[in-house]
Amino acid sequence: MQSVLRNVTKLGSYRSLARNTTLAAPSAQRLCVRPQFVRTLVTKRYTKDHETVTFDDSTGIGIVTITDHAQSSLGDVVFVELAEIGTEVEQGGHIGAVESVKAASDIYAPVSGLVKEINTTLASQPGLLNKSPEEQGWLCKIKVSDPSELEGLLTEEQYKAENNIES
């Protein structure tokens, strides 16, 4: 079998393979490996309450963060509370809270689904929300139950226009 695979790559066609081996053309055809291209679409959307979700359609996972605008409005974050893994959340439902030196704020789910992972680092380093709110300071990962909910959220341009944020 291994030598057949070598012949496929060397000869480049199943006809050449069939001439040089005892395999029939249909068997050789099955052995020919054609590259498969998978297109993954990653979509980032914003809520009016300053949460974001970055959705990967190949995994069905949405990573929830707060926006840079939100963290700057909050000031220095001192405590983060998040929903537990396995919690079923509804779009717009409560998934956590953030406390800063200025105020406390609730965090709402931008999409419905199941909380698959939370950023446990935020318990000991809540300041990550200030340093890197949309990267290292991610809040949770949700297995999205209804990807069409993303269509009702804001694009980056809409979010910036609504909040008077310059590009």
Please write the tens of the pLDDT for every residue from 44-89: 999 999 999 999 999 999 999 999 999 999 999 999 999 999 999 9
User: Dihedral through CA 147, CA 154, CA 104, CA 73, nearest 10?
Assistant: 150
CA distance 77 to 75: 6
- Is residue 99, in this structure, part of any structural domain at all? yes
**How many structural domains does the chain have?**
1
- CATH code: domain of residue 90: 2.40.50.100
Residue 155 is predicted with a pLDDT of 96
Cβ atoms of residues 53 and 111 within 8 Å: yes
- Is residue 32, in this structure, part of any structural domain at all? no
- Is residue 78, in this structure, part of any structural domain at all? yes
- Which residue segment(s) compose the domain that 72 sits in? 42-163
- Is residue 52, in this structure, part of any structural domain at all? yes
- Is residue 144, in this structure, part of any structural domain at all? yes
- Is residue 72, in this structure, part of any structural domain at all? yes
pLDDT per position as a tens digit, 87-136: 999 999 999 999 999 889 999 999 999 999 999 999 999 999 999 998 99
Within 10 angstroms of residue 134's Cβ, the number of other Cβ atoms is 17
- Is residue 159, in this structure, part of any structural domain at all? yes
